Structures are given as C-alpha cells and as structure tokens.
Amino acid sequence: MDTPPAYQKCINPKCSATFGCEEVLFQCPTCGDLLDICYDWNTVALPKTLADFAGRWAKRNERLDFSGVWRFRELLDFCPDRCKVSIGEGQTLLQQNGALAAELGMNPDGLFLQYEGMNPSGSFKDNGMTAAFSHARMVGATASACASTGNTSASMALYAHSGGLKATVFIGQGKIAFGKLSQAMDYGAQTIQIEGDFDDCMRQVQDVCRQLKIYLVNSLNPFRLEGQKTIMYRIIEQLGWEAPDWIIVPGGNLGNSSAFGKAFMELQTLGLIDRVPRLAVINAVGANTLTELYHDKKLRWNNGHTDNDAIKAYYDGLDAAGFRPHTVASAIEISRPVNLKKCLRALEVCNGVVLAVTDEEILDAKAQIGKTGLGCEPASAATIAGLKHLLAEGTIGKDQRVACVLTGHPLKDPNATVDYHSQMQRPFSNPPMHAANDLDKIIALIK
C-alpha cells in the first residue's frame, strides 16, 4: 500500500493536534507534548486472528517476513514496504526458565525470560531502530543522532551505516559500558562524550537535531516505539497468543513500557486479545523518578490530564538539590524520562505497578539469570530483582505466569559481571580460582 493509513497525534487531550507521517516532529509543534502514531484501522488489512501472523514463519526467505518486527507489519503500518529497513531484528526467544522459577519459589512452568540480546546489536533497541530508520528513509533523512546510555547508540550506529546515513551519538562522559561504546565506534558513528549525564545529552541532542535538521532516533521519536510493540507480540506468540499474567520491564527513558502499553491497548481495541497482562516497571533506586512520582506524588495518566506542575516541581527539586542519578545499571541511569506520560498511560492500560530495586539486588539477580539462563546486562536484571519483591509482598502469585524482558546482552557490560564475580563477596559470586602450573594442584581444585 503506498499511502499508509497512519498519522501522528498529540497525546495531550486538550490539544490532540494531528500531523501526517511525512512530517519529522518528535514533539507536538502546537503544545510541546509527546506524539503517538495512530491508525485508521478500518483501512488496514488486518489478519482475522493473531495466529495468522505465525504463517509468515514459513516465508522466512522474504526480508520482511524474516524480521521479527515487520512480520507484524499490519500493526505498525506507517510506511510503504519499499521504505522498510531490516537487518534481521527480532529473532528473539522466550525462554521458559524452570530453574530460576524454582529458586524464586514459583511454579516451574511460570517464569519466562524474553531474551532481546539476540538482536543484531545485542539489545531490544533494534526493534525500535528498524522502525525509526524506515521512517527516516521515508522522509529522505541523511543524518541521524541520539543521546544514549549506550544501547541506543550501538543500535543507531548499526542501522545508520546499513542504510547509508551519518550517525552522531551523544553519551555522558564515563557513563557508558564498554561493550556499547565499542559498538558505536566500530559501526562508524561519530561519538561525542559530553561532560554530563544522559539527561544533559538528551537536552543537547534535541537542540542539535532541531538546528541542523538531523533525524532524532531517541524514543521521543514515536515511530521507534511502534517497532518496540512487537516485543509484546512475540511474547504472546510464544505463549500460544495468550497474554501472561505479568510483563516485567526495566524502566529508564520509559520507551519500552510505553510501547508495551500501546501494543496491548491496540490489540484490545482490535479485539485480537481477550485479556491484557499486568505491567511492572522497575527502576533502580538511584534513578527512580517514575517510582517517586508514582508513589509519593501519586502522579497518574488521568485520561491524559497528567499533572504537569507536579512533574515540573519534581524536576526543579532535582535541580535545586544538584541531584545526579547513579546506578550500576548504567543503561537506566536516567532521572528525566522523556516518555514519562506515555508510561503512565501504559500503567493504567495494564493495571501496572512501579518499584525501585537496589544495585545489590540488581547484581544478585543478574548472576542468577546468568547461572540459570542466557544472561543479561545489569539493567535487564532489574526485572528479576523486582519480581522477587512482588512475589514477597504477594502482588504476584507464585503460580502466575510472568514474562521478564531481558533487554540487553550479557557482553554489553563485562566489567559489571567480572567485578561482581571476582571482587564482591555476594551470594552468587563465582570468582575465578588461581592454580600453579601443576597437574596435581589443578586437579585438587576441581569441585
């Protein structure tokens, strides 16, 4: 189809301005709020059931059917097929992890880990980047940029050079894990380390993109979030098109949680699912804006009438205190999440909960995920750390079905892993042993 039935719409109900998809905006030009991609579903040729999407597995030699994002293209129909960029993203798996479930005292059939580390750049970002770069191609963009704690930059750099665009990444000085930094450099992006943190970079990149007319691929970009919806489609596909009881996701800039809420909102509107899962968004204690606003300030979506003054007062307070977020989970070391409002909407759609976990809890959970499963980077382990709290307080029942999104590959941040195992005396530390170059002494060490 050459004119897709999609448009951009401001999420602020007092504004609700709409714009065509050929416009490059990233925030509402009328009121400055976030934009959504909306569809005129009556004109989309949707399959009758979600199971029809699975038929595309049989046509994996076709570029768009092979993509774990574009396989679901009718549910994100904002650009013509000829513009769709793909490098094989979304070949992920939902691992049922009985061993970890047992360690957590859950029903062994009930715990699933959605391993997004299998994406081309090793994180969930590729789901969004394939969508953003498809839009970039549609509008003829030649240069891209992002602020990043690392994974967005790695993913952007990969998609940019695959599509022949220039790429500039802004990262906070010393705020990025080495695996991710190495990717941005290796994939040929111009890497600018700003003396500041992610939030500073996020502010700067918006002005840079505005002034130089560069295409911004941060999750402010509503097209990116359309791609990230497919993580949820793949989870329910693996569960026989049934929603689990819970989805658990780490919260940083809050793009993923926002996209997940939108995915379920739309599937429900379309009558393609009977039941929406509950959503748990997990912050790190040192970067817990969402948790504080949600619990202490009782901030809610409120049909789009979110209390902007409360948000502003909170941020003013952070500035006055000279607050800087800090967590070992550098991917989510963010104190001004740009998708805050959309995340609040997702929490409402999915009857969600929010909590924050400590760095120690994150690192312990990460070691348990590595010991029983495919491993992940620290931010991803916030999911299992959060799950432990939710089980302990009875919010999640031990016999419920829970899917945790492991957002990034374990090799993204090898320093965190090696430090935990070799330097810290933690419950799951597995330090390397030292042996003389002597067979008997080596054998004596084998447990």
172 three-state secondary structure: strand
Stretch that binds ligand F0G, among 56-64, 254-262, 319-327, 432-440 (CB under 6 A): 254-262
Which residue type does 332 have?
I
- Contact status: 410 vs ligand F0G (CB under 6 A): no
**Footprint on residues 155-214 left by ligand F0G (CB under 6 A):** none
Q: State the DSSP string of 295-320.
A: IIS----GGG---HHHHHHHHHHHHH
- Contact status: 254 vs ligand F0G (CB under 6 A): yes
Q: How many whole angstroms separate alpha carbon 438 and alpha carbon 231?
A: 50
Sole binder of ligand F0G in the list 251, 277, 370, 375 (CB under 6 A): 251
CB 111, min distance to ligand F0G, A: 19
CB 148, min distance to ligand F0G, A: 3
**Secondary structure (H, E, C), 238-289:** HCCCCCCCEEEEECCCCHHHHHHHHHHHHHHHCCCCCCCCEEEEEEECCECH
> Is-contact 24 17, C-beta < 8 A?
no
Sole binder of ligand F0G in the list 280, 350, 379, 396 (CB under 6 A): 379
Q: How many whole angstroms separate alpha carbon 308 and alpha carbon 352?
A: 21
Q: How many whole angstroms separate alpha carbon 324 and alpha carbon 354?
A: 21
Element (H, E) at 341: helix 340-349
- Contact status: 217 vs ligand F0G (CB under 6 A): no
Among 287, 245, 229, 303, CA closest to 53:
229
- Contact status: 69 vs ligand F0G (CB under 6 A): no
x/- track of binding to ligand F0G for residues 131-150 (CB under 6 A)? -----------------xxx
Sole binder of ligand F0G in the list 231, 332, 354, 396 (CB under 6 A): 332
Q: How many whole angstroms separate alpha carbon 248 and alpha carbon 424?
A: 27
Size of residue set near ligand F0G by CB under 6 A: 22
237 or 333, CB closer to ligand F0G? 333
130 or 256, CB closer to ligand F0G? 256
Sole binder of ligand F0G in the list 175, 408, 410, 420 (CB under 6 A): 408
Q: Which two tokens stand for residue 437?
A: 């170059």
- Contact status: 331 vs ligand F0G (CB under 6 A): yes
218 or 238, CB closer to ligand F0G? 218
Sole binder of ligand F0G in the list 67, 96, 114, 123 (CB under 6 A): 123
> Is-contact 347 261, C-beta < 8 A?
yes
For residue 18, how many other CB atoms are within 10 A of its CB?
Answer: 13
- Contact status: 152 vs ligand F0G (CB under 6 A): yes
Binding residues for ligand F0G (CB under 6 A): 123, 148-152, 219, 250-257, 331-332, 377, 379-380, 407-408
